[in-house]
Amino acid sequence: MISQIRKLMRDNHVTQRDLAHELGVSEQAISDKFHGRSNFTLRDVSRIADFFDVSLDYLVGRSNEQKGNKR
C-alpha cells in the first residue's frame, strides 16, 4: 500500500506535507506511517483513495486498475 501511495504522490506532485494536511494529521504522523512506526487507519486509506480518485482495491494492492468498474 505504501508503494502505491508514494507512486500517486510522485505522479501528482503531492508532498507529505500536502497529504498530512488532507488527512488532518501532522507531517510527523505521516512520516511515522511511511516508516512503519504507526499504521494507516481505515479512515486514512479511505481519504487517500478519495483524494487521489482511486479505488480502495488499487490503493491496497488488490487491483492494478486505479478506478474500479461501476455497474
Q: How far is CA 67 from CA 2, 29, 47, 49, 58, in A?
A: 18, 27, 15, 10, 7
In this predicted structure, what is the pLDDT of residue 1? Answer: 87
pLDDT in tens, 27-71: 999 999 999 999 999 999 999 999 999 999 999 888 777 775 543
What pTM, to 2 d.p., does this model score?
Answer: 0.83
**pLDDT surpasses 90 at 10:** yes
Query: Which run of H or of E encompasses 44?
Result: helix 42-52
